[in-house]
């Protein structure tokens, strides 16, 4: 079948890499894609939220499956757009319905869902501009640090963790006053959870599910987890501190009630659930849901899946996931992200990248890259992810770092301590 992947990052290059391997894939398209996807698929210069242009492409190229990478098109209802259109309704869309996507699109909605289905999470209350005073009074009842979350999508910047009570009260006022536009006209204030973070990924057809490998990403720009938040600077899978007993707890207390909750609420959901967790003592607590795969977590999770990804997706789309088995590579996978100097603040694009062809025994996943004449040049903050395997995750990390030595672009930056805390 002909398949379209929506998105342009390392996550989408990884999807393309896995899907291109499948015997079920005839022609593969990526919109808009990057220089990496261009090597294995046809890039089409269409925005991921231009549904009419996507429709025209799907019809023209007789595409039978659309795999949605980022959250924006999902939150805007691309699944429902396809199902409501006579010409598109038979196309398999891998991603939840608009209603399912509210689990990521609204933090308040996600908290209500967790409460309704008995899923462990931090205690919280939510506030709107009219209840600012109550919100500030609520902060007074909590211990620092204070966790303030913009309800809507804020490009990963909507969560603030603040030590000082006066600053927290003032931030709350600014957020409700429109600091993040419409995204922060509702603010969730929640209990601070002290523990180690990890992510669990689930593929579901809305009734059955498969738990995919766990991963941990490194969100901060600086060594030792310091500095500004980024999309992610590296990742490791599996997470070494997750043993079978803890995984069992996650499945029973979090994964099952989440999937059952979707089914009980009659929510169409044929895609990924990315569950952000904090391990508090020995207990898993959910900090967030995302309705897509993570980036750079995808760059370590998908390469470990040995089963045919297209077969899994077909089963998801047909509601037959129960019939599938999941084969996982037991080795660890690690990825290190190379970023543009200045990222996550202002950075320059268009820097020539050299050395990719010299990489050995690691996989180069392109993120923000494009072609300029004959060269591959930088085209974003996160530029390239270098994924490596080994039975020992420290050896895998070493391989990635050895290969990074061969790569160059002006003001290239990466963290040298991925996995330091494991």
| Interacting residues toward ligand AMP by CB under 6 A | 122, 147, 159, 161, 190-193, 197, 276, 287-288
Query: Using CB distances below 5 to 8 A depending on partner kind, what does residue 225 bind out of ligand GLY, ligand AMP, none?
Result: none
Identity of the residue, 147 or 386, whose beta carbon is nearer to ligand AMP in the bound complex:
147
Identity of the residue, 43 or 335, whose beta carbon is nearer to ligand GLY in the bound complex:
335
Compute CA distances 347 → 9, 10, 85, 254, 412, whole Å. 17, 18, 41, 39, 11
Query: Using CB distances below 5 to 8 A depending on partner kind, what does residue 290 bind out of ligand AMP, ligand GLY, none?
Result: ligand GLY
Measured N-to-C along each axis, helices 10-20 and 309-318 cross at an angle, to the nearest 10 degrees, of 100
Q: Judged by CB under 6 A, does residue 151 bind ligand GLY?
A: no
Query: Using CB distances below 5 to 8 A depending on partner kind, what does residue 362 bind out of ligand AMP, ligand GLY, none?
Result: none
Q: Judged by CB under 6 A, does residue 9 bind ligand GLY?
A: no
Compute CA distances 10 → 55, 68, 387, whole Å. 24, 13, 11
Identity of the residue, 176 or 339, whose beta carbon is nearer to ligand GLY in the bound complex:
339
Query: Using CB distances below 5 to 8 A depending on partner kind, what does residue 217 bind out of ligand GLY, ligand AMP, none?
Result: ligand GLY
Q: Which of 232, 234, 271, 380 binds ligand GLY (CB under 6 A)?
A: 232
Burial class, 282, CB count within 10 angstroms (exposed 0-12 / middle 13-18 / buried 19+)? exposed
- What is the closest distance, in whole angstroms, from the C-beta atom of residue 190 to ligand AMP in the complex? 5
Q: Judged by CB under 6 A, does residue 380 bind ligand GLY?
A: no
Q: How many residues are present in the chain?
A: 422
- What is the closest distance, in whole angstroms, from the C-beta atom of residue 156 to ligand GLY in the complex? 7
Query: Using CB distances below 5 to 8 A depending on partner kind, what does residue 257 bind out of ligand AMP, ligand GLY, none?
Result: none
Query: Using CB distances below 5 to 8 A depending on partner kind, what does residue 308 bind out of ligand AMP, ligand GLY, none?
Result: none
Query: Using CB distances below 5 to 8 A depending on partner kind, what does residue 294 bind out of ligand GLY, ligand AMP, none?
Result: ligand GLY
- What is the closest distance, in whole angstroms, from the C-beta atom of residue 381 to ligand AMP in the complex? 18
Q: What does the alpha-carbon distance between residue 403 and residue 351 come to, in Å, rounded to a whole number?
A: 19
- What is the closest distance, in whole angstroms, from the C-beta atom of residue 165 to ligand GLY in the complex? 29
Q: Two tokens at 374? A: 């004959």
Q: Which of 297, 301, 396, 400 binds ligand GLY (CB under 6 A)?
A: 297
By the criterion CB under 6 A, which residues form the site for ligand GLY? 217, 231-232, 290, 294-295, 297
């Amino acid at each position: 079948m002909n398949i379209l992947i929506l998105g342009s990052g390392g996550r989408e290059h990884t999807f393309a890499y896995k899907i291109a391997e499948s015997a079920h894939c005839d022609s593969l398209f990526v919109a808009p894609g990057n220089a990496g996807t261009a090597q294995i698929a046809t890039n089409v210069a269409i925005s991921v939220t231009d549904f009419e242009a996507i429709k025209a492409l799907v019809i023209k190229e007789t595409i039978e499956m659309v795999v949605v990478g980022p959250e924006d098109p999902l939150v805007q209802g691309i699944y429902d757009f396809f199902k409501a259109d006579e010409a598109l309704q038979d196309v398999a869309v891998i991603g939840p319905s608009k209603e399912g996507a509210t689990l990521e699109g609204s933090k308040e909605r996600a908290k209500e869902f967790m409460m309704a289905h008995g899923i462990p999470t931090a205690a919280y209350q939510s506030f709107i501009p009219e209840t600012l005073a109550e919100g500030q009074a609520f902060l007074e009842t909590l211990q620092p640090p204070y966790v303030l979350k913009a309800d809507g999508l804020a490009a990963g910047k909507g969560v603030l963790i603040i030590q000082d009570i006066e600053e927290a009260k003032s931030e709350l006022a600014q957020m409700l006053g429109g600091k993040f536009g419409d995204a922060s006209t509702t603010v969730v204030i929640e209990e601070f959870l002290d523990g180690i973070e990890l992510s669990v990924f689930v593929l579901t057809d809305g009734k059955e599910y498969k738990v995919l490998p766990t991963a941990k990403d490194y969100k901060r720009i600086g060594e030792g987890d310091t500095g500004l938040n980024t999309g992610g600077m590296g990742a490791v899978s599996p997470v070494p501190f997750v043993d079978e007993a803890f995984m069992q707890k996650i499945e029973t207390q979090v994964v099952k009630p989440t999937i059952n909750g979707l089914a009980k609420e009659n929510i169409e959901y044929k895609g990924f659930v990315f569950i952000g967790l904090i391990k508090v003592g020995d207990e898993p607590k959910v900090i967030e849901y995302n309705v897509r795969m993570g980036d750079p977590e995808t760059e370590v999770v998908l390469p470990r899946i040995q089963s045919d990804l297209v077969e899994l997706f077909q089963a998801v789309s047909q509601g037959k996931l129960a019939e599938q088995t999941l084969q996982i590579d037991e080795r660890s996978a690690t990825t290190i992200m190379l970023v543009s100097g200045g990222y996550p603040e202002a950075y320059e694009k268009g820097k020539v990248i050299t050395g990719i062809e010299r990489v050995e025994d690691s996989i180069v996943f392109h993120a923000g890259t494009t072609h300029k004449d004959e060269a591959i040049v930088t085209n974003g903050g996160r530029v390239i992810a270098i994924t490596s395997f080994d039975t020992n995750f420290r050896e895998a990390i070493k391989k990635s770092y050895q290969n990074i030595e061969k790569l160059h672009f002006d003001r290239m930056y990466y963290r040298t301590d991925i996995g330091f805390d494991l």
